[in-house]
Amino acid sequence: MDLGSVRRFDTIHLIFDTDMNARWPAKPLARQCIRDYDLLADDGAGNWHTLASVKDNFQRHRVHSFSPHSARKLRIKVLATHGAPEARIFEVRVYDSAVSMHSQGSARE
């Protein structure tokens, strides 16, 4: 995912497909939900660095917080689902909490 320019961030929210449309799920885990994945950032020189490595995920919404990084590109490397041949990510949000906190503070003033 290309952010358009180098951005500073320390939090990434991911929303996965957990089949919220199923009226009566046949199994407790949605097959298409991403189970194992790596979250990576490009350092600008084409080197990818792992920000998070997740195993046995079953949640729809995951929040990853870490020390500040700067990158133009992010990659989510899907390693496994809960059985489906395809993986679906509904939403990715990238935040810099220092900017978010400053914006919230100035909005109240």
Domains of the chain with CATH codes: 2-108 (2.60.120.260)
Six-digit token pair at 55?
Answer: 């195993």
Beta strands in 1-109 (DSSP E): 2-16, 34-42, 48-54, 61-81, 89-95
Sign of the Cα pseudo-torsion (84, 85, 88, 94, in order): positive
pLDDT digits (tens, 9 = 90+) for 21-49: 656 555 557 888 899 999 999 988 889 99
pLDDT digits (tens, 9 = 90+) for 53-86: 999 998 999 999 999 999 999 999 999 999 899 9
Asked if 74 and 38 touch (Cβ cutoff 8 Å), the reply is no
